[in-house]
Amino acid sequence: MATGLNQANGQRYHFDIYALLEGAQELYFGHEVQVNVNLVELVKVRLPNGEEVEKCYLSPTKRRGVERRALLWAPTGSGKLLGDVLDCGIPKTCAKQECPICNVYGGLITDSKGGRERTTFIGRLTHGGGVAIQDQSPEEKQRAMHPSDIHRGGDGEEPMPFRRQYNQPGLLYPIYNHCLSVTDEEFRPVAYAFQDSLARIGAGNPKGVRLAERAKTPMIVLDRYLVPKGERPVLSPSLCESEEAYNAFWNAAKQVEGKPQNDDHISATNFERWTGQAALNKLAEFADAFVNEVLKKR
């Protein structure tokens, strides 16, 4: 069965982003609600010694939603937001190939109305990772009235207190974005969304994470390739020590074709890798092109 994708104007590649994120403050990324307690998402991990621990989890699907909203709310040259210009939103995606968001993130139309046929447009961007390194339990704190109660104008005169769990500051989250068969032009909104979303990850307030650093080097890797010749810096969920995680990530980042490399831009046949600040600069280059060629011209 054919993919249905239009022929590309240039070479298609696979792109990977690997990064270690650090919570710069307490972080709430909602999961479920028990009796008057908002819970964060946890996963159970069995360690090599057989011990089972619970770790905080930065869900890839929720991170994907933050990235998509960063694109939908991106400012354009006309003064409108990109989602309004494209008539694309959540959950009302346009699912058109010419949409720079749906083209990579995918889209879904469930009802046939308004000239829109039911359709599923498969995305070519997947997200992974998010299991915290340290096995540090979330903390529970009491807060005042939930903002939605204020909006509804609750019956009670006194604020209704509630409790909320928070992932603690300093937790490390290994995360990964993988793009399948996209051109440089199609990858640009992915680079823009990845960078723009970091300050907006979380539910409620506070929000935001930062790229973890070691020796003033950001822990991030960008690959563009037809053949995956670099070792993938994907960390085991069983790791519990920050220093071990830094070492494992950076050692893998510097391994290409089975050999350690010292350069922050590694080029081999059908494979390129940028690490650290060079990776951030390359992502910024793609993001700049998206702003100049798409956002400012809409």
pLDDT given for residue 3 in this prediction = 74
**Any domain includes 78:** no
Q: Could you identify the residue written with the tokens 């020796």?
A: 215
The Cα–Cα gap between 52 and 129 comes to 19
pLDDT at 267 over 80: yes
The Cα–Cα gap between 42 and 47 comes to 15
CB atoms < 10 A from the CB of 33, how many? 11
**Any domain includes 83:** no
Poorest-pLDDT segment among 61-65, 76-80, 92-96: 92-96
Mean pLDDT of 254-281: 96
Of 141 and 149, the structure prediction assigns the larger pLDDT to 141
Of 22 and 95, the structure prediction assigns the larger pLDDT to 22
> How much is the mean pLDDT over the chain?
90
Q: Which domain holds residue 186?
A: 13-58+124-153+169-297
Strands (E), the chain: 13-22, 30-34, 37-40, 42-46, 52-56, 107-109, 119-121, 125-129, 139-143, 162-166, 172-182, 210-211, 213-214, 217-218, 220-225, 255-256, 259-260, 265-268, 271-275
Question: Token pair of 111, please?
Answer: 């009802």
**Any domain includes 181:** yes
Per-residue pLDDT reduced to its tens digit, 137-148: 898 887 765 555
pLDDT given for residue 151 in this prediction = 46
**72: closest CA among 222, 200, 204?**
200
Question: Token pair of 247, please?
Answer: 């070492």
Mean pLDDT of 273-296: 97
Poorest-pLDDT segment among 99-113, 156-170, 242-256, 282-296: 156-170
CA separation, residue 142 to residues 145, 155, 207 (Å): 10, 21, 18
**Any domain includes 200:** yes
**Any domain includes 247:** yes
**Any domain includes 160:** no
Query: What is the tally of structural domains in the chain?
Result: 1
User: 3-state DSSP call for residue 291?
Assistant: helix
| Structure confidence at residue 149 as a pLDDT band (50, 70, 90) | low
The percent of residues above 90 in pLDDT, for the chain, comes to 70
pTM summary value: 0.90
DSSP string, 119-148: EEE--SEEEEE-B-SS-PPPEEEEE-S-HH
pLDDT at 150 over 60: no
Burial of 297 (0-12, 13-18, 19+ CB in 10 A): exposed
Of 293 and 111, the structure prediction assigns the larger pLDDT to 293
pLDDT at 30 over 80: no
Per-residue pLDDT reduced to its tens digit, 173-196: 999 999 999 999 999 999 999 999
**Any domain includes 37:** yes
| Structure confidence at residue 219 as a pLDDT band (50, 70, 90) | very high
Of 37 and 50, the structure prediction assigns the larger pLDDT to 50
